[in-house]
């Protein structure tokens, strides 16, 4: 076969193989058998080996790379990957729906009028951002903390359901699409279809089917390995394998559920249909809902089918269908207002409590943990459940030896919800409430007004370990888990956070779990983690009541660690979303000398805190902006970041203290509220002048 003949045959094989991939993963049909499909891929592989200059990155043979990676690079998301609010009952769903109706009032939507939503199944997997450039898969990244994830492109390429090249819809398909979705910007969509030039980002869920999970565990048992606990952990672990060949062997699947790029779709339903046309599989179990009764109907339909579906899911996701309305609703904290997860009732099972052990947390709170007979519930084997505090033990009337009902709240956290006293034999024993700390043996205290009992020993090794675990989680140090941290403490190598950054390879080599290479990798991972954004640094300190969102609020307001450390109680209390209790907790934490010493040590050993970027002179200092409507030359998120960069504040709600309401095309209720409160309302052109361009 000549090179020219091979080139033509390769092109035909690639087209045919990709068509079969589309039919199998998107249309759920198949013209040929798996064996025939494999035979075509084998022929393509042989031809490419014979003519290696004809190999391209989007060829079906190039899904699996040949070498393991040294580690994963950090990737900043251009548009944050946000979390969702959870609701568990029809009443909670009704409260969310009522808020949306109220927020989408005049001129966007008259209060009380119904609005359309789109419902999708909530699959138990791993959220993924996938970017295409000029129609070819360019990168894939995990959610991470929502703003920064990990580059897992090599591994996502191995997932057959993810197209290496986006499909190009025919004119007939595009015509039918535009007829089905009349609000679509046809000119913009056709330009994207015809040229496919530039960046296109979609998001979806990497998951493992029940069938593939069972096959993987059968293989593990056959090889004498420990079976995997649940499919979500397998999905997350497989995507983060340094060797793509291991990922490929796990047979992961993928469903797309969102388009980030603006390609002219007016509704979320249109985005999902477009994903299908582009060759991206979309879950078929969702559907539109015209009112709250419609949402409940989809919920019940999916719930009844749940056990028969080939994958695990824990609810449905409800989204305002109209994209302009969705953008208008905006974000509160890290949660879009127009999106909610409507969770299924938690699964339950019965088991027997054999013991209650007490453990100390990073704040000194002592928590009782029930040790139970293993029981399979909601996809995992559960042996332990938190009992929260001594009052909860008393409320349940729990005794050692009791049969209990266990549930996984939100299908995540194991919880004992009921004791079955009628099954008692008479041999049950009372639970002994801890009087001394299980880690250091010091007497415990119960502060006035608190439910928890606490260890107040500042040198308690248990508290130190938990604080270190929390700290490492904030710094995202790969390969440094709880067991290794405990080992390093026991060996006298680490007693506080700053000690981690002075560890050397020579100190680690020879310890259990550490050979030359593993010691080298851990030291490198710690060194790579030295540079950290200010919000994550604040969150890693373990200040009581300070989570991710509060850390973000502090960083946005004070913009430097020095400013946070020196802030007065009044200044802290003036930060949006921070009340008196949280302000007092932050102020008190930084006032303690051993906390000051810990932070100073971290800076001394080379931790570099990345402060939010800001312009010299801070021209918008003291100004607050609220955005409404569609911006022309930039997204609303980009506009907000520009305001913050220039020293201003971008808020989601209009108050008398708002400096400007910036109104784009089709402004919503914030426009009217701004005028009613006498807040200056400016257009995008005036806003651009304020920001200097």
- Give the residue numbers annotated as catalytic, written as ranges: 122
Give the length of the chain.
693
Q: Around 301, how many Cα atoms within 13 Å sit in the side-chain half-sphere?
A: 15
* Distance of alpha carbon 279 from alpha carbon 256, whole angstroms: 10
Distances (CA, A) of 263 to 187, 196, 329: 9, 10, 20
**Token pair of 556 as six digits:** 């946005």
**Token pair of 475 as six digits:** 């710094």
* Distance of alpha carbon 529 from alpha carbon 602, whole angstroms: 12
Nearest alpha-carbon partner for 536 in 145, 81, 251, 248: 145
Neighbours of 30 (CB within 10 A): 13
Question: Does a cis peptide bond (omega within 30 degrees of 0) precede residue 107?
Answer: yes
CB 182 within 8 A of CB 132: no
Angle at the Cα of 75 from the Cα atoms of 70 and 79, rounded to 5 degrees? 160
CA distance from start to end of the chain? 60
By the 10 Å C-beta count (0-12 exposed, 13-18 middle, 19+ buried), 231 is classed as buried
DSSP string, 502-551: G--HHHHTTSTT--HHHHHHHHHHHHHTTEEEHHHHHHHTT-TT--HHHH
* Distance of alpha carbon 509 from alpha carbon 513, whole angstroms: 9
The number of angstroms, rounded, from the C-alpha of 628 to the middle of its chain's C-alpha atoms is 26
Radius of gyration of the chain (CA): 28
**Non-local CB neighbours of 621 within 8 Å, separated by 6+ positions:** 647, 648
CB 289 within 8 A of CB 119: yes
**Token pair of 366 as six digits:** 């002592």
3-state helix, strand, coil in the chain (%, to 5): 40, 20, 35
Distances (CA, A) of 258 to 199, 279, 394, 637: 15, 14, 47, 17
* Distance of alpha carbon 101 from alpha carbon 629, whole angstroms: 17
Residue with the two structure tokens 């057959």: 160
Q: Phi/psi zone of residue 647: left (φ > 0), alpha (ψ -120 to 50 degrees), beta?
A: left
Neighbouring-strand partners of residue 358: 368
Q: Phi/psi zone of residue 336: left (φ > 0), alpha (ψ -120 to 50 degrees), beta?
A: beta
CB 201 within 8 A of CB 261: yes
* Distance of alpha carbon 10 from alpha carbon 340, whole angstroms: 46
Per DSSP, the three-state class of 572 is helix
CB 39 within 8 A of CB 32: no
The number of angstroms, rounded, from the C-alpha of 385 to the middle of its chain's C-alpha atoms is 24
Nearest alpha-carbon partner for 89 in 433, 346, 435: 346
Nearest alpha-carbon partner for 154 in 23, 49, 85, 246: 246
* Bridging pattern class, strands 335-336 and 148-150: unpaired
């Amino acid at each position: 076969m000549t090179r020219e003949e091979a080139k033509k045959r390769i092109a035909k094989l690639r087209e045919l193989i990709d068509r079969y991939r589309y039919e199998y993963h998107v249309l759920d049909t198949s013209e040929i058998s798996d064996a025939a499909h494999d035979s075509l891929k084998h022929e393509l592989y042989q031809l490419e080996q014979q003519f290696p200059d004809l190999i391209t990155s989007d060829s079906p043979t190039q899904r699996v790379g040949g070498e393991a990676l040294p580690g994963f690079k950090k990737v900043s998301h251009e548009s944050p990957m946000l979390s969702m609010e959870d609701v568990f009952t029809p009443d909670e769903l009704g409260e969310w729906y009522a808020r949306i109706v109220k927020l989408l009032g005049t001129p966007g939507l008259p209060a009380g009028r119904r609005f359309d939503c789109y419902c999708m199944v909530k699959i138990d997997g791993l959220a993924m951002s996938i970017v295409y450039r000029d129609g070819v898969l360019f990168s894939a990244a995990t959610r991470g903390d929502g703003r920064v994830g990990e580059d897992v492109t090599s591994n996502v390429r191995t997932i057959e359901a993810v197209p290496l090249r986006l499909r190009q819809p025919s004119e007939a398909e595009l015509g039918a699409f535009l007829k089905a979705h009349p609000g679509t910007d046809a000119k913009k969509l056709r330009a994207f279809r015809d040229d496919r030039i530039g960046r296109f980002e979609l998001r979806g869920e990497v998951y493992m089917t029940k069938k593939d999970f069972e096959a993987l565990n059968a293989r593990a048992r056959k090889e004498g390995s420990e079976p995997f606990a649940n499919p979500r952990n397998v999905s997350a672990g497989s995507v983060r394998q340094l060797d793509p060949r291991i990922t490929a062997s796990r047979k992961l699947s993928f469903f797309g559920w969102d388009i980030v790029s603006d390609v002219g779709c007016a509704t979320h339903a249109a985005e999902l249909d477009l994903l299908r046309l582009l060759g991206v599989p979309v879950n078929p179990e969702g559907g539109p809902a015209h009112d709250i009764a419609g949402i409940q109907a989809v919920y019940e339909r999916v719930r009844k089918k749940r056990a028969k579906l080939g994958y695990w899911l824990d609810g449905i996701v409800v989204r305002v269908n109209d994209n302009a309305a969705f953008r208008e609703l905006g974000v509160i904290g890290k949660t879009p207002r127009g999106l909610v997860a409507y969770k299924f009732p938690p699964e339950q099972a019965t088991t027997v409590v054999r013991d209650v052990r007490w453990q100390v947390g990073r704040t000194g709170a002592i928590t009782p943990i029930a040790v139970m007979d293993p029981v399979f519930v909601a996809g995992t084997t559960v042996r332990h459940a938190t009992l929260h505090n001594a009052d909860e033990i008393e409320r349940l009337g729990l005794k050692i030896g009791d049969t209990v009902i266990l549930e996984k709240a939100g299908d995540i956290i194991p919880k004992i919800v009921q004791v079955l006293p009628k099954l008692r034999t008479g041999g049950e024993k009372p639970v002994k409430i801890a009087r001394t700390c299980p880690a250091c043996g010091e007497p415990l205290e119960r502060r006035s007004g608190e439910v928890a009992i606490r260890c107040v020993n500042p040198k308690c090794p248990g508290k130190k370990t938990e604080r270190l675990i929390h700290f490492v989680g904030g710094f995202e140090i790969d390969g440094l888990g709880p067991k290794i941290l405990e080992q390093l403490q026991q060996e006298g190598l680490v007693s506080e956070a700053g000690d981690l950054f002075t560890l050397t390879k020579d100190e680690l080599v020879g310890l259990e779990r550490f050979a030359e290479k593993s010691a080298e990798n851990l030291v490198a991972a710690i060194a790579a983690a030295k540079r950290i954004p200010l919000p994550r640094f604040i969150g890693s300190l373990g200040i009581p009541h300070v989570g991710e969102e509060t850390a973000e609020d502090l960083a946005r307001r004070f913009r430097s660690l020095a400013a946070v450390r020196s802030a007065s109680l009044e200044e802290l209390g003036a930060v949006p979303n921070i009340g008196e209790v949280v302000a007092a907790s932050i102020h008190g934490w930084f006032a303690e000398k051993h906390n000051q010493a810990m932070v100073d040590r971290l800076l001394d050993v080379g931790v570099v805190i990345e402060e939010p970027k800001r312009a010299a002179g801070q021209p918008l200092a003291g100004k607050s902006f609220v955005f409404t409507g569609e911006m022309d030359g930039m997204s609303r998120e980009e506009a907000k970041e520009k305001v913050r960069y220039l020293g201003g504040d971008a808020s989601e709600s209009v108050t008398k203290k708002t400096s400007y309401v910036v109104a784009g095309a089709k402004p919503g209720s914030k426009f009217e509220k701004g005028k009613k409160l006498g807040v200056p309302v400016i257009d995008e052109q005036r806003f651009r002048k304020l920001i200097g361009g």
